[in-house]
A and B are shown apart, each in its own frame.
Chain A
Protein backbone atom coordinates (compact mmCIF):
# COMPACT_ATOMS: atom_id res chain seq x y z
CA UNK A 1 0.00 0.00 0.00
CA UNK A 2 2.79 2.38 1.00
CA UNK A 3 4.71 1.38 -2.13
CA UNK A 4 1.73 2.29 -4.34
CA UNK A 5 1.45 5.67 -2.64
CA UNK A 6 5.17 6.31 -3.13
CA UNK A 7 4.90 5.29 -6.81
CA UNK A 8 2.10 7.81 -7.41
CA UNK A 9 4.06 10.61 -5.68
CA UNK A 10 7.27 9.73 -7.56
CA UNK A 11 5.50 9.70 -10.91
CA UNK A 12 3.95 13.12 -10.27
CA UNK A 13 7.35 14.54 -9.26
CA UNK A 14 9.05 12.92 -12.23
CA UNK A 15 6.54 14.25 -14.75
CA UNK A 16 6.74 17.77 -13.34
CA UNK A 17 10.55 17.86 -13.11
CA UNK A 18 10.99 16.52 -16.66
CA UNK A 19 8.50 19.08 -17.97
CA UNK A 20 10.35 21.85 -16.12
CA UNK A 21 13.74 20.79 -17.47
CA UNK A 22 12.58 20.34 -21.04
CA UNK A 23 10.26 23.32 -21.46
CA UNK A 24 11.42 25.94 -18.97
CA UNK A 25 15.14 25.16 -19.05
CA UNK A 26 15.03 24.50 -22.83
CA UNK A 27 17.02 21.28 -22.61
CA UNK A 28 14.82 19.36 -25.04
CA UNK A 29 12.48 16.53 -24.13
CA UNK A 30 14.92 13.69 -24.81
CA UNK A 31 17.74 15.05 -22.66
CA UNK A 32 15.41 16.00 -19.81
CA UNK A 33 13.87 12.54 -19.62
CA UNK A 34 17.05 10.53 -20.20
CA UNK A 35 19.31 12.56 -17.91
CA UNK A 36 16.88 12.60 -14.96
CA UNK A 37 16.21 8.86 -15.31
CA UNK A 38 19.93 8.15 -15.53
CA UNK A 39 20.53 10.14 -12.36
CA UNK A 40 17.76 8.35 -10.47
CA UNK A 41 18.95 4.97 -11.78
CA UNK A 42 22.53 5.61 -10.67
CA UNK A 43 21.37 6.96 -7.29
CA UNK A 44 19.32 3.83 -6.65
CA UNK A 45 22.10 1.47 -7.69
CA UNK A 46 24.58 3.32 -5.43
CA UNK A 47 22.35 2.83 -2.39
CA UNK A 48 21.16 -0.62 -3.42
CA UNK A 49 21.91 -2.23 -0.05
CA UNK A 50 19.94 0.28 2.02
CA UNK A 51 16.78 0.26 -0.16
CA UNK A 52 14.12 -2.48 0.11
CA UNK A 53 14.04 -4.76 -2.96
CA UNK A 54 10.49 -3.82 -4.01
CA UNK A 55 11.34 -0.13 -3.99
CA UNK A 56 14.63 -0.77 -5.80
CA UNK A 57 12.86 -2.68 -8.59
CA UNK A 58 9.84 -0.43 -9.03
CA UNK A 59 10.70 3.20 -8.30
CA UNK A 60 13.29 3.83 -11.11
CA UNK A 61 11.00 2.15 -13.66
CA UNK A 62 8.04 4.25 -12.52
CA UNK A 63 10.28 7.32 -12.66
CA UNK A 64 11.39 6.75 -16.28
CA UNK A 65 7.81 5.95 -17.28
CA UNK A 66 6.48 9.13 -15.74
CA UNK A 67 9.29 11.14 -17.31
CA UNK A 68 7.77 10.20 -20.69
CA UNK A 69 4.67 12.03 -19.47
CA UNK A 70 6.86 15.06 -18.78
CA UNK A 71 8.14 14.95 -22.39
CA UNK A 72 4.82 16.50 -23.44
CA UNK A 73 5.22 19.82 -25.25
CA UNK A 74 3.79 22.96 -23.71
CA UNK A 75 1.47 23.29 -26.70
CA UNK A 76 -0.39 20.17 -25.59
CA UNK A 77 -0.47 20.83 -21.82
CA UNK A 78 0.23 24.33 -20.58
CA UNK A 79 0.24 24.13 -16.80
CA UNK A 80 2.31 22.24 -14.27
CA UNK A 81 -0.95 21.27 -12.57
CA UNK A 82 -2.11 19.40 -15.65
CA UNK A 83 1.27 17.68 -16.07
CA UNK A 84 1.13 16.65 -12.41
CA UNK A 85 -2.37 15.31 -12.91
CA UNK A 86 -1.15 13.31 -15.94
CA UNK A 87 1.65 11.93 -13.75
CA UNK A 88 -0.95 10.94 -11.15
CA UNK A 89 -2.97 9.03 -13.75
CA UNK A 90 0.22 7.41 -15.02
CA UNK A 91 0.96 6.22 -11.48
CA UNK A 92 -2.49 4.64 -11.20
CA UNK A 93 -2.14 2.88 -14.57
CA UNK A 94 1.38 1.73 -13.63
CA UNK A 95 0.18 0.21 -10.34
CA UNK A 96 -2.56 -1.73 -12.15
CA UNK A 97 -0.56 -2.61 -15.27
CA UNK A 98 -1.18 -6.11 -16.59
CA UNK A 99 1.23 -9.03 -16.33
CA UNK A 100 0.49 -9.97 -19.93
CA UNK A 101 2.48 -7.04 -21.32
CA UNK A 102 5.20 -7.21 -18.67
CA UNK A 103 8.64 -6.79 -20.23
CA UNK A 104 7.32 -5.36 -23.49
CA UNK A 105 9.36 -2.34 -24.50
CA UNK A 106 7.12 0.66 -24.85
CA UNK A 107 4.47 -0.45 -22.36
CA UNK A 108 5.48 2.43 -20.10
CA UNK A 109 5.27 4.83 -23.03
CA UNK A 110 1.80 3.56 -23.86
CA UNK A 111 0.64 4.19 -20.30
CA UNK A 112 2.20 7.65 -20.55
CA UNK A 113 0.43 8.51 -23.79
CA UNK A 114 -2.90 7.23 -22.43
CA UNK A 115 -2.55 9.41 -19.34
CA UNK A 116 -1.57 12.44 -21.43
CA UNK A 117 -4.57 11.99 -23.73
CA UNK A 118 -6.92 11.59 -20.78
CA UNK A 119 -5.50 14.79 -19.29
CA UNK A 120 -5.86 16.63 -22.60
CA UNK A 121 -9.60 16.10 -22.27
CA UNK A 122 -9.66 18.23 -19.11
CA UNK A 123 -9.05 21.66 -20.75
CA UNK A 124 -11.62 20.84 -23.45
CA UNK A 125 -14.32 20.72 -20.80
CA UNK A 126 -12.92 23.21 -18.33
CA UNK A 127 -12.06 26.08 -20.69
CA UNK A 128 -13.83 29.31 -19.76
CA UNK A 129 -15.42 29.79 -23.16
CA UNK A 130 -17.03 26.36 -23.07
CA UNK A 131 -18.23 26.80 -19.53
CA UNK A 132 -19.82 30.16 -20.34
CA UNK A 133 -21.34 28.74 -23.49
CA UNK A 134 -22.76 25.86 -21.46
CA UNK A 135 -24.24 28.31 -18.93
CA UNK A 136 -25.87 30.38 -21.69
CA UNK A 137 -27.37 27.29 -23.28
CA UNK A 138 -28.63 26.12 -19.92
CA UNK A 139 -30.14 29.53 -19.11
CA UNK A 140 -31.90 29.61 -22.45
CA UNK A 141 -33.21 26.15 -21.87
CA UNK A 142 -34.56 26.99 -18.42
CA UNK A 143 -36.05 30.27 -19.67
CA UNK A 144 -37.82 28.58 -22.57
CA UNK A 145 -39.16 25.89 -20.29
CA UNK A 146 -40.52 28.51 -17.94
CA UNK A 147 -42.31 30.25 -20.77
CA UNK A 148 -43.82 27.01 -21.97
CA UNK A 149 -44.95 26.03 -18.52
CA UNK A 150 -46.52 29.47 -18.04
CA UNK A 151 -48.37 29.13 -21.31
CA UNK A 152 -49.63 25.76 -20.24
CA UNK A 153 -50.79 27.11 -16.91
CA UNK A 154 -52.74 29.95 -18.48
Chain B
Protein backbone atom coordinates (compact mmCIF):
# COMPACT_ATOMS: atom_id res chain seq x y z
CA UNK B 1 0.00 0.00 0.00
CA UNK B 2 2.74 2.42 1.04
CA UNK B 3 4.73 1.47 -2.02
CA UNK B 4 1.74 2.23 -4.25
CA UNK B 5 1.21 5.67 -2.67
CA UNK B 6 4.92 6.42 -3.03
CA UNK B 7 4.90 5.42 -6.68
CA UNK B 8 1.73 7.42 -7.41
CA UNK B 9 3.08 10.62 -5.81
CA UNK B 10 6.42 10.38 -7.65
CA UNK B 11 4.68 9.60 -10.93
CA UNK B 12 2.22 12.50 -10.48
CA UNK B 13 5.03 15.00 -9.90
CA UNK B 14 7.00 13.68 -12.88
CA UNK B 15 3.93 13.96 -15.13
CA UNK B 16 3.28 17.54 -14.08
CA UNK B 17 6.91 18.57 -14.52
CA UNK B 18 6.98 17.11 -18.02
CA UNK B 19 3.63 18.80 -18.77
CA UNK B 20 5.11 22.09 -17.64
CA UNK B 21 8.19 21.60 -19.82
CA UNK B 22 6.21 20.53 -22.86
CA UNK B 23 4.00 23.64 -22.68
CA UNK B 24 7.21 25.71 -22.86
CA UNK B 25 8.28 23.62 -25.85
CA UNK B 26 4.94 23.93 -27.64
CA UNK B 27 4.91 27.70 -27.34
CA UNK B 28 8.48 28.13 -28.49
CA UNK B 29 8.06 25.56 -31.26
CA UNK B 30 6.41 28.06 -33.61
CA UNK B 31 9.40 30.41 -33.65
CA UNK B 32 12.47 28.32 -32.95
CA UNK B 33 11.85 24.68 -33.79
CA UNK B 34 15.24 23.07 -33.21
CA UNK B 35 16.07 25.05 -30.12
CA UNK B 36 12.72 24.12 -28.55
CA UNK B 37 13.10 20.44 -29.34
CA UNK B 38 16.69 20.30 -28.05
CA UNK B 39 15.75 22.20 -24.89
CA UNK B 40 12.78 19.98 -24.03
CA UNK B 41 14.39 16.65 -24.94
CA UNK B 42 17.62 17.55 -23.12
CA UNK B 43 15.99 18.72 -19.92
CA UNK B 44 13.44 15.86 -19.89
CA UNK B 45 16.22 13.30 -20.32
CA UNK B 46 18.20 14.81 -17.44
CA UNK B 47 15.02 14.94 -15.34
CA UNK B 48 14.38 11.24 -15.94
CA UNK B 49 17.98 10.41 -15.02
CA UNK B 50 17.55 12.41 -11.80
CA UNK B 51 14.36 10.51 -10.97
CA UNK B 52 16.06 7.17 -11.56
CA UNK B 53 19.53 7.77 -10.16
CA UNK B 54 19.71 10.74 -7.80
CA UNK B 55 19.20 10.17 -4.08
CA UNK B 56 15.80 11.89 -4.02
CA UNK B 57 13.72 9.50 -1.97
CA UNK B 58 13.90 7.49 1.20
CA UNK B 59 12.70 3.96 0.91
CA UNK B 60 10.48 3.92 3.94
CA UNK B 61 7.34 5.96 3.50
CA UNK B 62 6.06 8.12 6.33
CA UNK B 63 2.95 10.20 6.36
CA UNK B 64 3.03 13.75 7.71
CA UNK B 65 0.76 14.66 10.60
CA UNK B 66 -2.65 15.87 9.42
CA UNK B 67 -2.53 18.73 11.94
CA UNK B 68 0.52 20.08 10.05
CA UNK B 69 -1.14 19.86 6.64
CA UNK B 70 -4.08 21.94 7.87
CA UNK B 71 -1.77 24.98 7.82
CA UNK B 72 -1.34 24.79 4.04
CA UNK B 73 -4.78 26.27 3.19
CA UNK B 74 -4.33 28.82 6.01
CA UNK B 75 -1.03 30.05 4.54
CA UNK B 76 -2.63 30.16 1.11
CA UNK B 77 -5.57 32.26 2.30
CA UNK B 78 -3.30 34.68 4.17
CA UNK B 79 -1.03 35.24 1.14
CA UNK B 80 -3.97 35.50 -1.29
CA UNK B 81 -5.85 38.01 0.86
CA UNK B 82 -2.71 40.11 1.35
CA UNK B 83 -2.22 40.59 -2.37
CA UNK B 84 -5.87 40.66 -3.45
CA UNK B 85 -7.58 42.66 -0.74
CA UNK B 86 -4.69 44.76 0.54
CA UNK B 87 -3.22 45.16 -2.99
CA UNK B 88 0.34 44.38 -1.98
CA UNK B 89 2.81 43.07 -4.54
CA UNK B 90 2.78 39.27 -4.91
CA UNK B 91 6.43 38.95 -3.86
CA UNK B 92 5.96 41.16 -0.80
CA UNK B 93 2.85 39.30 0.38
CA UNK B 94 4.58 35.93 -0.04
CA UNK B 95 7.64 37.32 1.77
CA UNK B 96 5.58 38.64 4.70
CA UNK B 97 3.70 35.34 5.12
CA UNK B 98 6.88 33.27 4.87
CA UNK B 99 8.91 35.48 7.21
CA UNK B 100 6.19 35.51 9.87
CA UNK B 101 5.83 31.73 9.53
CA UNK B 102 9.58 31.21 9.92
CA UNK B 103 9.49 32.89 13.33
CA UNK B 104 6.69 30.64 14.66
CA UNK B 105 9.10 27.99 16.08
CA UNK B 106 10.66 30.72 18.25
CA UNK B 107 7.44 30.82 20.33
CA UNK B 108 8.40 27.54 21.93
CA UNK B 109 11.66 26.04 20.77
CA UNK B 110 11.00 22.66 22.38
CA UNK B 111 7.76 22.11 20.52
CA UNK B 112 8.10 19.59 17.72
CA UNK B 113 4.78 20.65 16.21
CA UNK B 114 5.68 24.34 15.87
CA UNK B 115 8.95 23.48 14.15
CA UNK B 116 7.06 21.81 11.30
CA UNK B 117 4.72 24.73 10.64
CA UNK B 118 6.95 27.08 8.55
CA UNK B 119 7.30 24.52 5.78
CA UNK B 120 3.53 23.90 5.61
CA UNK B 121 2.67 27.60 5.67
CA UNK B 122 5.30 28.49 3.07
CA UNK B 123 3.94 25.70 0.88
CA UNK B 124 0.49 27.30 1.21
CA UNK B 125 1.99 30.67 0.32
CA UNK B 126 2.87 29.38 -3.15
CA UNK B 127 -0.77 28.39 -3.67
CA UNK B 128 -1.78 31.87 -2.57
CA UNK B 129 0.61 33.43 -5.11
CA UNK B 130 -1.80 32.46 -7.90
CA UNK B 131 -2.95 35.50 -9.85
CA UNK B 132 -6.54 36.74 -9.79
CA UNK B 133 -7.09 35.49 -13.37
CA UNK B 134 -6.58 31.90 -12.26
CA UNK B 135 -7.95 32.03 -8.73
CA UNK B 136 -11.15 34.01 -9.09
CA UNK B 137 -12.35 33.62 -5.51
CA UNK B 138 -11.09 32.51 -2.14
CA UNK B 139 -12.97 29.20 -2.43
CA UNK B 140 -10.60 28.21 -5.24
CA UNK B 141 -7.60 28.99 -3.05
CA UNK B 142 -9.00 26.93 -0.17
CA UNK B 143 -9.69 23.98 -2.51
CA UNK B 144 -6.22 24.19 -4.06
CA UNK B 145 -4.73 24.51 -0.58
CA UNK B 146 -6.50 21.34 0.57
CA UNK B 147 -5.26 19.38 -2.47
CA UNK B 148 -1.73 20.63 -1.81
CA UNK B 149 -2.07 19.72 1.87
CA UNK B 150 -3.03 16.16 0.95
CA UNK B 151 0.00 15.93 -1.35
CA UNK B 152 2.23 17.29 1.42
CA UNK B 153 0.80 14.60 3.73
CA UNK B 154 1.69 11.87 1.27
CA UNK B 155 5.13 13.08 0.23
CA UNK B 156 6.95 13.34 3.56
CA UNK B 157 9.99 11.25 2.73
CA UNK B 158 10.06 11.97 -0.98
CA UNK B 159 12.13 14.68 -2.65
CA UNK B 160 13.90 15.39 0.62
CA UNK B 161 15.92 18.57 0.50
CA UNK B 162 15.08 19.34 -3.11
CA UNK B 163 14.42 23.05 -3.49
CA UNK B 164 11.13 23.62 -5.22
CA UNK B 165 9.43 20.53 -3.82
CA UNK B 166 6.87 22.71 -2.04
CA UNK B 167 6.34 24.79 -5.16
CA UNK B 168 5.80 21.70 -7.30
CA UNK B 169 3.24 20.38 -4.81
CA UNK B 170 1.49 23.76 -4.90
CA UNK B 171 1.55 23.73 -8.70
CA UNK B 172 -0.06 20.27 -8.80
CA UNK B 173 -2.68 21.40 -6.26
CA UNK B 174 -3.55 24.57 -8.20
CA UNK B 175 -3.67 22.72 -11.54
CA UNK B 176 -5.97 20.00 -10.15
CA UNK B 177 -8.24 22.64 -8.59
CA UNK B 178 -8.44 24.70 -11.80
CA UNK B 179 -9.10 21.56 -13.83
CA UNK B 180 -11.97 20.60 -11.47
CA UNK B 181 -13.38 24.15 -11.66
CA UNK B 182 -13.15 24.00 -15.45
CA UNK B 183 -15.10 20.72 -15.53
CA UNK B 184 -17.70 21.73 -12.96
CA UNK B 185 -18.51 25.06 -14.62
CA UNK B 186 -19.19 23.36 -17.97
Q: Which residues of A contact B (CB under 8 A)?
A: 27-31, 33-35, 37-42, 44-45, 60-61, 63-64, 68-73, 75-76, 86, 93, 96-118, 120-121, 124
The CA of A60 and the CA of B20, in the complex, are separated in Å by 22
13 new A-B contacts, CB < 8 A, other than A31-B118, A98-B24, are: A34-B99, A35-B98, A68-B166, A71-B163, A96-B28, A98-B27, A100-B23, A103-B133, A105-B126, A106-B167, A107-B20, A117-B46, A117-B56
Complex interface: chain A residues within 8 A of B90 (CB): 61
How would residues 47 to 69 of chain B score, 1 for a CB under 8 Å from any chain A CB and 0 otherwise? 10111011110000000000000
Say yes or no for B5: interface residue by CB 8 A criterion.
Answer: no
Residues A105 and B129 in contact in the complex (CB < 8 Å), given A30-B118, A96-B28, A124-B49: yes
Complex interface: chain B residues within 8 A of A107 (CB): 20, 167, 171
Smallest CB–CB gap between B183 and chain A, Å? Answer: 17
Q: Decide: A37 and B167 in contact? CB cutoff 8 A.
A: no
Smallest CB–CB gap between A31 and chain B, Å? Answer: 3
Q: Decide: B23 and A113 in contact? CB cutoff 8 A.
A: no
Tell me if A's interface is mostly helix, strand, loop or mixed.
helix
Contact among B17, B127, B129 for A114, CB-based, below 8 A: B17
Contact among A45, A72, A76, A106 for B126, CB-based, below 8 A: A106
Complex interface: chain B residues within 8 A of A70 (CB): 163
Smallest CB–CB gap between B160 and chain A, Å? Answer: 7
18 A-B residue pairs with Cβ-Cβ distance under 8 Å, sorted by A, are: A30-B119, A33-B122, A35-B99, A38-B95, A44-B89, A61-B91, A98-B27, A105-B134, A106-B170, A108-B126, A109-B170, A112-B164, A112-B167, A113-B163, A114-B43, A116-B163, A120-B54, A120-B56
Q: Decide: A111 and B164 in contact? CB cutoff 8 A.
A: yes
Q: Decide: B163 and A63 in contact? CB cutoff 8 A.
A: no
The CA of A104 and the CA of B39, in the complex, are separated in Å by 22
Q: Decide: B171 and A68 in contact? CB cutoff 8 A.
A: no
Residue of chain B at shortest CB distance from A125: B49
Tell me if B's interface is mostly helix, strand, loop or mixed.
helix
Q: Decide: B162 and A37 in contact? CB cutoff 8 A.
A: no
Say yes or no for B165: interface residue by CB 8 A criterion.
Answer: yes
Complex interface: chain A residues within 8 A of B55 (CB): 76
Complex interface: chain A residues within 8 A of B51 (CB): 117
Complex interface: chain A residues within 8 A of B39 (CB): 96
The CA of A105 and the CA of B127, in the complex, are separated in Å by 5
Q: Decide: B171 and A110 in contact? CB cutoff 8 A.
A: yes
Contact among A63, A98, A118, A120 for B26, CB-based, below 8 A: A98
Residue of chain A at shortest CB distance from B93: A41
Smallest CB–CB gap between B173 and chain A, Å? Answer: 7
Q: Which of B19-35 contact A (CB under 8 A)?
A: 20-21, 23-24, 26-28
Q: Decide: A71 and B164 in contact? CB cutoff 8 A.
A: yes
